[in-house]
Amino acid sequence: MGAVFFYHLTRSSAEATLRSLLGKSLQAGWRVVVRGRSAPFLDRLDEMLWLHPEDGFLPHGRAGGPHDADQPVLLTDGLDVPNGAACVMSVEGAEVTAEEATAMQRVCILFDGAEETAVAHARGQWKALTGAGCAAQYWSEAGGKWEKKAESGG
């Protein structure tokens, strides 16, 4: 059974945090699905992952192509996981089910602390997922570095 990690963004952008988490996930040998809700966000992330000047690119693709199953990181606004991912990263309030969370090695839910609707949605996801028995951790960067602030054993 996997764990759900909630990342409350207050200093870093979702794109920068995703880049860091994706790098760590690939180092762990995991395939990843990044699930968003809007094409503009996924377009920005796609460009950033290809053109990052300091670290080079992270191998990835946009869902809907002929090689989705081969992608180590797949950017999508859909619910399917055609690349056999061990990790789902949810942004923009994209949905994650309890069944999916238990099937994955890890689920990461990133939400913008400056948007009250995003915070409220993340609270609802926490309640729903922990209520369904999922293990969860809440991480905040409010103090300047990532710190675990809460944990539910699931």
Mean pLDDT of the chain: 92
d(CA 16, CA 37): 18
pLDDT at 101 > cutoff 90: yes
pLDDT 10s digits, 131-148: 999 999 999 998 889 999
pLDDT score at 51? 73
Measured at the CA of 126, the angle between CA 142 and CA 23, to 5 degrees, comes to 60
**Residue among 36, 35, 42 nearest 50 (CA):** 42
Burial, 134: exposed, middle or buried (Cβ in 10 Å; 0-12, 13-18, 19+)? buried
pLDDT 10s digits, 5-57: 999 999 999 998 999 999 999 999 999 999 999 999 999 999 888 876 566 67
- Tokens representing 80? 């399917």
Parse the chain into domains and list their residue ranges. 3-152
Q: Which CATH superfamily is domain 3-152 in?
A: DNA polymerase III subunit chi (3.40.50.10110)
